[in-house]
Amino acid sequence: MKKIIVLTILTAFFLAGCSTQNMNSKKIKVAATIFPLYDAISEIGKDKVDAVLIVPPTSDPHNFSLSPKDIEKLQGVKIIFENDIGLENWMSTLIKTLKDARVINTSEGITGKVENNNPHIWLNPDYFTAQCSAIEKALVDADSVNASYYEANFKIYTDSIMTEAMKLRSEIDKLQVKKIISFHDAFPYLAEYFGLEVLGTLEETPGALPTPQKIKTIEDLIVKNRIKAIFKEPQQSTEIMNAIIEDTHAKVYMLDPIGGTEGRNGYLETMKYNVNTIIEALK
């Protein structure tokens, strides 16, 4: 009888352990609208989450259109992390389709620092780590059993970003010229953190071609301020810059506001790439 009792107790402990293990190993399916947020949920959630990226890194999130295949891969998603501030105007369609998914606005709490409804807040490391905090809290809320796991990963991830950001800022401080001109108005928050000045942007509205007057204005700025470099982006067609290059002889460098491609496989790598590119162009 004693052997039976002991065996029963051991079996109960074994089953309880298996139950706990299954609970801890079950992944939460979550999605991010853009790559920087996807990188954050992947690094904070790691093997506890099944992360899905909605907008491919090479696509423009401003003008993205959801396909049936996009909707299909998002079935079963519990949380969708968005940037908001007008970046994902297509989100209303997705929310209607995935009614059970919880939408987390990662920019909530940062909106007071937004300028001219410009949504590219993640390019300021201070703002991005605040977005990461919103991600971490949502994951903890959804999966409290693994709260310490998410909290530890959040700290490692954001500490590495801020440590590198401060090093890069000290390198920018050494530059004599800190003025830049970009194709698209994506970099005011990056400039804010790193002590740069965006003199002008060629594309005032995403997807809209600049007028001849706008092109002339940019050319005048380049000549007046002796700008040696202008910056394009991989997500957009920049053929219109060819005339400016020909007229001003300015060199063209590429900045990537999104990342997620070779050499820019994470937020940290993309930040380093962008700032080092600016340093090289302005030296």
Predicted TM-score (pTM) of the model is 0.88
The CA-atom distances, in angstroms, between 91 and each of 70, 76, 106, 274 are: 12, 17, 14, 28
Confidence of residue 210 (pLDDT cuts 50, 70, 90): confident
Instruction: Work out the percent of the chain whose per-residue pLDDT is above 90.
Output: 71
What amino acid is encoded at 98 in this protein?
A: L
CB neighbours (10 Å) of residue 10? 10
Q: What is the pLDDT of residue 208?
A: 77
Q: Is 176 helix (H, G, I), strand (E, B) or coil?
A: coil
Please determine, for residue 32, whether its predicted confidence score (pLDDT) is greater than 80: yes
Burial code (b: 16+ CB inside 10 Å, e: under 16) for 268-277 equals bbbbbbbbeb
In angstroms, the CA 281 to CA 259 distance is: 19
Q: Check whether 96 has a pLDDT greater than 50.
A: yes
Summarize pLDDT for 54-70 with one digit per residue, the tens: 999 989 898 899 999 99
Chain segment 105-134, per-residue pLDDT in tens: 999 989 788 988 899 999 999 999 999 999
Identify the top-confidence range among 68-72, 127-131, 205-209, 212-216.
127-131
Decide if pLDDT at 23 tops 80: no
Question: Which residue in 262, 69, 40 sits closest to 160, CA to CA?
Answer: 40
pLDDT score of 111: 79
**Strand-strand pairing, 79-82 and 28-32:** parallel
> With bands split at pLDDT 50, 70 and 90, how would you rate the model's confidence at 11?
very low
From residue 49, give the alpha-carbon distance in Å to each of 35, 65, 139, 222. Answer: 16, 25, 9, 47
Average pLDDT score over residue span 189-216: 89
**Does residue 154 contact residue 136 with C-beta atoms inside 8 Å?**
yes
pLDDT of residue 18: 43
Q: Report the alpha-carbon distance of residue 57 to residue 31 in Å, rounded.
A: 14
Q: How confident is the model at residue 17 (pLDDT cuts 50, 70, 90)?
A: very low
Q: Which domains does the chain have, with CATH numbers?
A: 26-168 (3.40.50.1980), 175-282 (3.40.50.1980)
Close Cβ partners of 162 (under 8 Å, ≥ 6 residues apart): 125, 129
∠ CA 63-64-66, nearest 5°, is 145
- pLDDT at residue 237, as a whole number: 66
What is the C-alpha to C-alpha distance for residues 269 and 216, in angstroms, rounded to an integer? 35
Residue 206, SS3 per DSSP? coil
| Average pLDDT rounded to a whole number, residues 18-40 | 78
* Residue 40, pLDDT score: 98
The residue with greater pLDDT, 122 or 203, is 122
**Would strands 79-82 and 102-105 be described as parallel, antiparallel, or unpaired?**
parallel
Q: Which residue has the higher pLDDT, 223 or 11?
A: 223
Residue 7 has pLDDT above 50, yes or no: no
Helix H segments across 143-282? 147-172, 188-194, 212-224, 241-248, 267-282
Q: Per-residue pLDDT for 24 more than 60?
A: no
